[in-house]
Structure 1
Amino acid sequence: MLIVEDNPVARNFLERVVRESFSDELQVVGAGDLATARRLVGWRSGRAQPLPADPFQLVLLDLELPDGNGMELLAELIGYPTMRIVTTLYSDDDHLFPALQAGAEGYLLKEDRFEVLVEELQRIVRGQPPLSPAIARRLLGHFRGGSQPAAEPTPPKFSARPPGPRPAPAEHGRLTPRENEVLTYLSKGFTIKEIANLMGIKWFTVNDHIKSIYKKLDVSSRAEAAVLASKQGLV
């Protein structure tokens, strides 16, 4: 993965967050400016070059860099097979919405606590956008009517799923042997990086398996997946 951040202290901090979130064995590359970042991803003179054999699958990108604005790289990376996440100190609309429009798939605040950033990065595994809590609230407020204060949420008057046992998944939704193995480890409490080590695969591959498991079982947490799989005899 690639961390584009000109402050060495902040770059080291983000690297620790990434390694805690995913895998200690993950190869992390740092870039302190746009020029270096472009060179690393294979971008020359505003034109994309053929993709490397092992392109960066995750890019954390600061918006304020010595030789330009990170928004430029966000737009240039559209079409590059990576997840683009902004890591910044700016939580205002003037930075947030242009970044999302430029292709950012997540927006994290570097001022958040270490454990908060770890949790938000791990949302990738659940197929959810990594957003700092303050950013999520700002987005929610924006779509609820901008400056108007959001009303207190009321308990839902209906259940998202009907009561009673869920039907067994259709044949096409059955877990593959590899997904069964991942689910077994999940149900035993192993972390993503531990599962990757045990199975001899990369953490991003484990992420893909977990997302597929959640989709097939129609669940949103490892506990829910483990309980359902046990009841249905899937593992």
Structure 2
Amino acid sequence: MSDTIPPSDTPDPGRMPERRKTNPPGLCPPPEPLWPHFLTGQEDAPVRVLLIDDDEFMRRVIAQELLSDMRIQLEGQGSSVRDGRRLLATHEFDVLMVDLRLGDGSGFDLIREARKLHRYCEIIVISALEDDAHVMHAFELGATGYLLKHAWLQSFAEAVLQVVNGGAAITPKLTRRLLTRMNLHGSGERPATEAPLREATLTAREREVLRFVARGCVSKEISMRLGISGQTVNAHIKNIYKKLHVHSRAQAVSLATHTGQL
């Protein structure tokens, strides 16, 4: 008979038990999210963000979400127009996230300055103001996103990644309102508050490209869906900018929506 003692199933009291993830019967664990190499925001070159909001709690919530994503780097944050001007002048950045109502002025002023100092930056408005006048003015000044504070179904980190990759970031509630405007134009009606807008005729292909842009698709995705090259997609987008006299995808979507071409 062997004197060998079989290993015990009793855990060693000096050793911490291994923690295992369990899933309900019949369910597989969710796949790890993939981030394609061709999209901006790799961990070795994160998207640089400036955050300006005088609501300390809200600023802390947004900052925490941005800092938790390795694809994003929070370069600086402030609570006033004065802070914003200092950060714009002293930091390199890719995205400015700004509230419209600041204690010492308007976020619109910072949007204008950001466009002058950093022509190709992206701008996301974070505001409690959701009336059409503020939303449309932000887009007219060059904003590429508009998020409502305390809104459900939105991610500040995903919004940053959307705009730097050619998309637009708009709170779903505001997107629904834009869709309503599109339906009104399609039926021949016009909102009572709508002002006269510049008319420009887009080709069928340009409208098709712009519809994908409105859904948040980047050029690579649009080219794959339409079976054309990325260069052709970008050429269409440049033509759209020229015809509509705009400088960003968000502006193009907004104006085309108001003129009934989407």
- Using the size of structure 2 for normalisation, the TM-score is 0.49
Deviations 1:154-202 (A, max 9, x none): xxxxxx9xxxxxxxxxxxxxxxxxxxxxxxxxxxxxxxxxxxxxxxxxx
How far is 1:114 from its partner?
Answer: 7.0
Residue 149 of structure 2: aligned partner: 110
Identical columns (%): 25
Structure with more of its chain in helix, by fraction: 1
2:133 equivalent to 1:90: no
Name the CA distance, whole Å, in 2 between partners of 1:135 and 1:76. Answer: 25
Q: How many angstroms apart in 2 are the aligned matches of 1:32 and 1:100?
A: 22
Aligned partner (choices 69, 82, 88) of residue 35 of structure 1: 82
Is the 1:64–1:70 Cα contact (8 Å) retained in structure 2?
Answer: yes
The amino acid that maps onto 1:15 is A
| Paired residue type of 1:60 | M
Contact residue 120 and residue 132 of structure 1 kept, 8 A = no
Tell me the equivalent position of 2:110: 73
Which position in structure 1 is the counterpart of 2:166? 127
Change (3 A) 1:23 1:114: farther
Shift of 1:136: 1.0
Residue matched to 1:170: none
Contact 1:5 1:65 in 2 (8 A): yes
Q: Which runs of 5+ in 2 are unaligned?
A: 1-48, 185-189, 193-207, 209-216, 227-262
Distance 2:72 2:147 in 1: 23
Pair 129,86 (structure 1): closer, same or farther in 2 beyond 3 Å: same
1:86 counterpart letter in structure 2:
V
SS in 2 for 1:78: helix
Structure 1 runs not aligned, ≥5 long: 43-51, 149-159, 161-209, 221-235
Residue type of the alignment partner of 1:82 = C
Q: Is the 8 A contact 2:51 2:76 kept in 1?
A: yes
Name the SS of the counterpart of 1:35 in structure 2: helix
Equivalent residue runs for 1:44-193 within 5 Å: 55-79=92-116, 80=118, 81-113=120-152, 116-124=155-163, 126-145=165-184, 147=191
**1:218 maps to 2:224:** yes
Q: Deviations over 1:89-110 (max 9, x none)?
A: 1111121111111111110112
User: Quick check: which has more Rg, 1 or 2?
Assistant: 2
Is 2:57 the partner of 1:12? no
Give the CA deviation at 1:19.
Answer: 3.2
Q: CA shift at 1:37, angstroms?
A: 0.6
How far is the alpha carbon of 1:25 from its aligned partner? 6.6
Aligned residues: 148
- Would the alpha carbon gap of residues 35 and 92 (structure 1) be closer, same or farther in structure 2, given more than 3 Å must change? same
